Structure 1
Amino acid sequence: MSPQPTAPIGLGAAFFRATLYILLIAALLQGIYYEALYLPARRSFAEQGFTELCQSIVLAASALLLCTPPARRELPTVSLLLLALIVASLIREQDYYLDKHIFDGAWQLLVTLTLLPCLSFVLWRRQRFVNEFEAYSNSFSFGLFASGFLVTYVFSRLYGRSEMWMAILEDHYQRTFKEAAEEITELLGYSLILIAIIELVLLARRWQQARSTP
């Protein structure tokens, strides 16, 4: 049985969740500010910095939420595809450590081993995936996920181009500006994805409740 849409989110619940999401974004940016203020050695936004650590934590939290019962039961193929993408991104964020402590190119191999089985399963259950996607694509969660995906994988890459920052800053160019622009924007995108996954789980719970109501 494919998921069915339910009544829209109540105004009170929407306001409460929006407040929490605003506080989350504000806390992350405040952490970045304190990193630049009190940890000058981390200002290059390197792998050991606060921003990179937060990216990994946000991705790990998103992956764990996709493994919860509501997501797995109501949207098994959609959740699996999203999980594969998020885990692949999490592996990619550890490229420095994987290349250094395992072997050069280790993260590419792990990403491939993560994506191929999941994509194969989704293709095998493609009709189930289409049914789930038709229900999910009309949700608030999907809009947030699409926004996070575009910010992370498109905008941050283009926004963080060295050529653009060289043109903007001219003789004052420093690589730190480019790294900060790209990494902070990437963290914003991952945060939007996390919020989208939270909304997906809540949506799945509403579907479960709707089915259990006579």
Structure 2
Amino acid sequence: MQKSVALLDHVSSPSVKWLSVGEVVTRFLSLMLVVSIPPICLFIDLKVIGNGVSEQSVTEIAQLVMLALTIGCFILLAQKKSTERYFFLLAAAFFACMLIRELDALFDLIAHGLWLYVAAPIALTAIINAIKNSSATLQGLLRFVSSHSGVLMLVAIAILVCYSRLMGMTGIWQNIMGDGYLRVVKNAVEEASELLGYSLILSASMHYAFQRLRTEA
């Protein structure tokens, strides 16, 4: 009973910021736009261009652009918010390594596995600096994951590293399609799932950057 009263007091507290109807509608429409990006890109690749989901597809290019913009958001935050700089640089390095990994086919034209040697120094530098400034890094991390943008980011990364990989399992699609199995279907579902993750990652990054940059703290 006491817990229920405390919860009601918290909800009715004037310190709780309520959203206006317009803000709710705007957020919902924005989310609809974000989750519409993967199927739109997939439609362009398969129906308009007819190139499947190759390394030069609209879907793949959209992934690269979104990663680049995400990196830009965290680099900008690192420049503007010095107290949490090393967390933002760590996040930027994390997504930079993802970008380099997505470009592995390009690096393989120079030397097989080259992407790893390009990504490793970036990751190590960011990790070492984060460890040296562990208190500030942890503070920045906790502040981020405690925000609405941070929660969305965690969901997005889970979609990217777990859901998309599971949905891209060949065995699933072989059992669904049987003798009519087409690899392009598996690839399309996997790449669209990845793009959904990247879309939400960019959305979370931009929202957090906008939120933090318009405040002094």
- Give yes or no for the alignment of 1:163 onto 2:171: yes
Structure 2 residue aligned with 1:51, among 47, 53, 59?
59
Going from structure 1 to structure 2, the CA distance change for 1:134 and 1:24 (only over 3 Å counts) comes to closer
3-state DSSP of counterpart to 1:68 = helix
- Give yes or no for the alignment of 1:33 onto 2:12: no
Partner of 1:3: none
Going from structure 1 to structure 2, the CA distance change for 1:59 and 1:131 (only over 3 Å counts) comes to same
Amino acid at match of 2:36: A
Partner of 1:144: 152
Deviation of 1:7 after TM superposition, in Å, equals 6.6
Partner of 1:120: 128
**For 1:77-96, what aligned pairs fall within 5 Å after superposition?**
77-96=86-105
Q: Give 5+ residue unaligned stretches, structure 2.
A: 1-14
Q: Give 5+ residue unaligned stretches, structure 1.
A: 1-5
Going from structure 1 to structure 2, the CA distance change for 1:70 and 1:98 (only over 3 Å counts) comes to closer
Deviation of 1:124 after TM superposition, in Å, equals 1.0
3-state DSSP of counterpart to 2:111 = coil
Cα contact 2:42–2:58 (8 A) shared by 1: yes
For 1:18 and 1:127, locate their aligned partners in 2 and report how far apart those are by CA, in whole Å.
Answer: 36
Deviation of 1:9 after TM superposition, in Å, equals 7.2
Partner of 1:202: 210
Partner of 1:23: 33
3-state DSSP of counterpart to 2:41 = helix
Amino acid at match of 1:126: S
Partner of 2:7: none
Deviation of 1:121 after TM superposition, in Å, equals 0.8
The higher-RCO structure (CA 8 Å, 6+ apart) is 1
For 1:87 and 1:62, locate their aligned partners in 2 and report how far apart those are by CA, in whole Å.
Answer: 9
Under a length normalisation based on structure 2, what TM-score does the superposition of the two structures give?
Answer: 0.84
Cα contact 1:140–1:199 (8 A) shared by 2: no
Under a length normalisation based on structure 1, what TM-score does the superposition of the two structures give?
Answer: 0.85
Q: Larger Cα Rg: Structure 1 or Structure 2?
A: 2
- When the two chains are superposed, the root-mean-square deviation of aligned CA atoms in Å is 2.1
Cα contact 1:77–1:125 (8 A) shared by 2: yes
Number of residue pairs matched by the alignment: 201
Going from structure 1 to structure 2, the CA distance change for 1:206 and 1:7 (only over 3 Å counts) comes to farther
Deviations 1:149-207 (A, max 9, x none): 00001111111011221122111111101111110000000011001101211231354
Amino acid at match of 1:51: T
